[in-house]
Chain A
Amino acid sequence: MDLQGCLNRTTFQSLKLTSTPSSSSSPFLFPSLYKTKTPTIHSPKFPFPRLTKPLPTSSASVVQTSPATTNISSEQGGKPQWKATIDFKWIKDNKETVAANIKNRNSDADLELILNLYDKLFILQKEVERVRGERNVVANKMKGKLEPSERQILIEQGKNLKEGLIALEEDLVKLNDELQREAQCIPNLTHPDVPIGGEDSSTIRKMVGSVPKFSFPVKDHLQLGKELDLFDFDAAAEVSGSKFYYLKNEAVLLEMALLNWTLSEVMKRGFIPLTTPEIVRSSIVEKCGFQPRAKNTQVYSINDSDQCLIGTAEIPVGGLHMDSILAGSILPLKYVAFSHCFRTEAGAAGTATRGLYRVHQFSKIEMFIFCRPEESDYYHDELIKIEEDMFSSLGLHFKTLDMASEDLGAPAYRKFDVEAWMPGLERFGEISSASNCTDYQSRRLGIRYRPSEALVPGPKKSKGNLAPPQFVHTLNATACAVPRMIICLLENYQQEDGSVLIPEPLRPFMGGLNVITRKS
């Protein structure tokens, strides 16, 4: 079946014709999976408000003394529930860079304390080794033939050393935990081209289109939605609370069209489609750089459980390959994931929260890439280009921003946000976000890859043939956040008679519907 031909057929019937069955179907055009490159695998926006206390990060190699653990802990003061693989030596050797970065990011991380703890740790480790050594000496002495009194003295010494050692080892564990906890607050490094400063320092990378001129008074999406019977916020406020909504009639078709079209567009570019769990363990949320337990957290928690609702598919997709070593040959690994997202929006108030602009639940298509470190800049450009292409084909006027250092949040090395013109709001509103998290998330999720295969293929791959595993880089980008897109489409495509035109690319996915009009 010719894909192009399919594009002109319709699926959903126009709502005006509900009494007459439509002609046959078709439409969704998901390109055949055979046409896209699908690696064999086996194995793994929307803006979050700034984190008040950034979670840690770091770079290069590993120097930790204990393996990643999974115990329960409180946020501060307890044993960390899991451990990021942090390169303390690198931090110490590059402390000026790290300090400057912490400052530029407006982070609370306490570098002084961290370096202090690291030095203490080193000293304590030496002391522990020394005491162990002494204990061995005593143990060895006891192997020989001895007078009972001599033996007694040695036994005493041995006992003292053992108690002393136990105390030192306890201190070592506590010190390690504290160091780990503090160091995990260090934000990711920053790309050299990122503007330093607050929101106002963000620079414009690209501008597409221009502010549309209307020859009639412009309505906002809420008013359009009311007149065209597309949403119900009032009933949702009764049933669920504020910032919840029902979509009705053509708005449902619009959501489905956006989801289907976006999935199709991104799959064409070689991304593997996924649907994900929307309930995840809170440790996974933390490993991705979010803070489920912070005051004013964006994260909903489930009662009597360590589980949370996801605020973005980035979380379960990142978790897909946690604690794994991927074969280098399958990188880059590109996923396009559809999920519902849930956000408490605690602390958000004001007019920027009317209608669909800020809601507790929404559908989103997210792109996620696992790649080699040297390729993440390249894929960051690829992701933003995909977004810009899609928003352009929908006819939106938008700008792409290179977000300033104070606006990055802890995980991102660099972040591009797209803001589209919303005539009803009379300003730009964010519709997507694309972040390069380099190895921040992979050091926490434990995702590595083997740089090259064994030189001598065969049944026995000796470890000598294989290069040691490295942390992958991870990137994530919003392909489509449905409510913000609905705002853009309704407000930009409104007509004088109160109807709303459907942009070309979405029409085949709406059963051929060209325009949303008032119900009679």
Chain B
Amino acid sequence: MNAGKNLKEGLIALEEDLVKLNDELQREAQCIPNLTHPDVPIGGEDSSTIRKMVGSVPKFSFPVKDHLQLGKELDLFDFDAAAEVSGSKFYYLKNEAVLLEMALLNWTLSEVMKRGFIPLTTPEIVRSSIVEKCGFQPRAKNTQVYSINDSDQCLIGTAEIPVGGLHMDSILAGSILPLKYVAFSHCFRTEAGAAGTATRGLYRVHQFSKIEMFIFCRPEESDYYHDELIKIEEDMFSSLGLHFKTLDMASEDLGAPAYRKFDVEAWMPGLERFGEISSASNCTDYQSRRLGIRYRPSEALVPGPKKSKGNLAPPQFVHTLNATACAVPRMIICLLENYQQEDGSVLIPEPLRPFMGGLNVITRKS
């Protein structure tokens, strides 16, 4: 009996150590970033390579204004009142800017739905654990994530989070893959630690509307869908007449979840440089291993009431991809700055006109 008691106590101690060790191992291992696609350039920002260049820098025969000045002259935004009501980096959109936002949202949703994506609207308040499972860090110092008081909830910085969460802890039937969603949400970001001129006006704001594409697919297909996503973005930005380049982001710029990331930067005449308007990431199984999203590779060979486990292949983790279809404030900057006319008005690009009640141009109010 004594021997038994000693062994029991010894066992309890060992089991406690086991739990602690497991926890520590898990915590440390969860810091390991996703693997990297072999074609990804190794290095920092400057190593990112250009995959595609569309259009060329527009030449203006008159002094070019930035979106803030255009917005002021055309009565399109109010940053000052928003600073009083909410703080800096908040804004009201007014008049035609509201029509422009609605037009961008409606047109983008329509374009992406045509390509077989299921439309969604999502919660904008989510549990912080979901944010973490997607690869973000709500509790880090200088986090991008707003937290709700007295709660484990946060505001989303992108619809990628609630869409990923949509199928958490699930096993999807292989037959429904690829599962493609196009989600509209507002996004909230603290932008802690961001300062400087790259934050003027609409370029860096705490709240904005975004349409996000998200794909759940089989592992062997994620490279293919990554190409599909970036092609959809490039097609849309081209039809809006923007001059842009698509970058294959270098290894130090990927962030933890992405296996490969393509960013699109569009020419912003007012800033006199390229500014990021979208990002398309292939997260392979990084998010799905955390969110617990798997699929069954094939159906039972013998259909019938009793599906024995022997007939079914074991579930595998899906791959997830996400891509910005439209980040409204950055698009507004592009459209205002690129389409400004000498008389201070702004032309509306063709594809958006039907979505703006036929409005062709934004002019000064009398």
Contacts and interface: CB of A to CB of B under 8 A. Distances in A.
Nearest to B363: A34
B356 interface: yes
B101 A275 contact: yes
Interface stretch (A102-110, A156-164, A250-258, A407-415): A250-258
Interface in B89-114: 90-96, 98-99, 101-103, 105-106, 109-110, 113-114
Given A11-B110, A320-B81, A240 B162 contact: yes
Summarize B's interface: helix, strand, loop or mixed: mixed
Interface stretch (A86-94, A141-149, A203-211, A277-285): A277-285
A301 B155 CA distance: 11
A326 to B, nearest CB: 13
A239 B355 contact: no
Contacts of A244: 123, 125
Interface in A185-217: none
Contact of B94 (A1, A26, A274): A274
Contacts of B290: none
Interface stretch (A38-46, A417-425, A464-472): A38-46
Contacts of B365: 38, 40
B357 A32 contact: yes
B102 to A, nearest CB: 6
Interface in A299-320: 300-304, 307, 316, 319-320
B55 interface: no
Contacts of A3: 357-358
Contact of A21 (B105, B114, B149, B168): B114
Nearest to A319: B85
Interface string A59-95: 0000000000000000000000000000000000000
Contact of A12 (B93, B113, B130): B113
B169 A238 contact: yes
Contact of A44 (B81, B86, B93): B81
Given A11-B355, A27-B354, A252-B184, A246 B122 contact: yes
Given A27-B355, A29-B357, A241-B127, A235 B184 contact: no
A33 B95 contact: yes
A321 B122 CA distance: 32
B116 interface: yes
B252 to A, nearest CB: 30
A303 B75 contact: no
B359 interface: yes
User: Which has the most chain B C-beta neighbours within 10 Å: A3, A239, A280, A323?
Assistant: A239
Interface string B55-96: 000000000000000000001001001101111001111111
Contact of A302 (B119, B148, B167, B366): B148
B124 interface: yes
Contacts of B123: 236, 239-240, 244-246, 360-361
Contact of B165 (A31, A41, A235, A256): A235
A240 B153 contact: yes
Given A252-B120, A280-B85, A240 B184 contact: no
Contacts of A241: 125, 127, 153
A19 interface: yes
Given A240-B126, A340-B124, A248 B118 contact: yes
A499 interface: no
Interface in B136-165: 146-150, 153, 162, 165
A29 B106 CA distance: 12
Contact of A26 (B75, B98, B355): B355
A441 to B, nearest CB: 13
B354 A246 contact: no
A316 B87 CA distance: 12
Nearest to A252: B119
B149 A300 contact: yes
B83 to A, nearest CB: 10
Contacts of A18: 113-114, 116
B207 interface: yes
A322 B98 CA distance: 22
A272 B114 contact: no
B357 A340 contact: no
B355 A273 contact: no
A25 B113 CA distance: 13
A207 to B, nearest CB: 33
B120 A246 contact: yes
A249 B106 contact: no
B98 A256 contact: no
B92 A276 contact: yes
A353 interface: no
User: Which has the most chain B C-beta neighbours within 10 Å: A18, A30, A248, A275?
Assistant: A275
B92 A277 contact: yes
Nearest to B86: A277
A379 interface: no
B121 interface: yes
Contacts of A275: 92-93, 98, 101, 209
User: Which has the most chain B C-beta neighbours within 10 Å: A18, A238, A342?
Assistant: A238
Nearest to B81: A320
Contact of A22 (B114, B153, B165): B114
A313 B153 CA distance: 22
A436 interface: no
A232 interface: yes
Contacts of B209: 275
B166 interface: yes
Contacts of B153: 240-241
B94 A272 contact: yes
A15 B146 CA distance: 35
A396 to B, nearest CB: 23
A24 B78 CA distance: 34
Contact of A38 (B95, B105, B146, B188): B95
A272 B149 CA distance: 34
B120 A30 contact: no
A246 B118 CA distance: 12
A129 B120 CA distance: 67
A30 B162 contact: no
Contacts of A13: 110, 113-114
Interface string A482-505: 000000000000000000000000
A298 interface: no
A279 B149 CA distance: 13
Nearest to B152: A241
A218 interface: no
A302 B192 CA distance: 15
Nearest to B150: A301
A260 interface: yes
B81 A319 contact: yes
B357 A264 contact: yes
Contacts of B354: 6, 9, 11, 24-28
Given A278-B188, A300-B125, 13 more contacts: A11-B355, A15-B113, A238-B169, A241-B125, A248-B120, A249-B118, A252-B121, A259-B102, A274-B92, A279-B207, A316-B92, A342-B125, A361-B125
3 tightest A-B contacts by CB? A26-B354, A1-B358, A239-B165
30 contacts: A1-B358, A12-B109, A18-B116, A19-B116, A21-B114, A22-B114, A30-B99, A33-B95, A238-B169, A239-B130, A239-B168, A240-B125, A240-B127, A241-B125, A247-B120, A253-B119, A255-B121, A259-B102, A272-B95, A274-B94, A277-B85, A279-B86, A300-B125, A300-B149, A303-B149, A320-B78, A320-B81, A322-B84, A340-B124, A360-B125
Interface of A: 1, 3, 6, 9, 11-13, 15, 18-19, 21-22, 24-33, 38, 40-42, 44, 232, 235-236, 238-241, 244-249, 252-253, 255-256, 259-260, 263-264, 272-281, 284, 300-304, 307, 316, 319-323, 338, 340, 342, 360-361, 363, 511
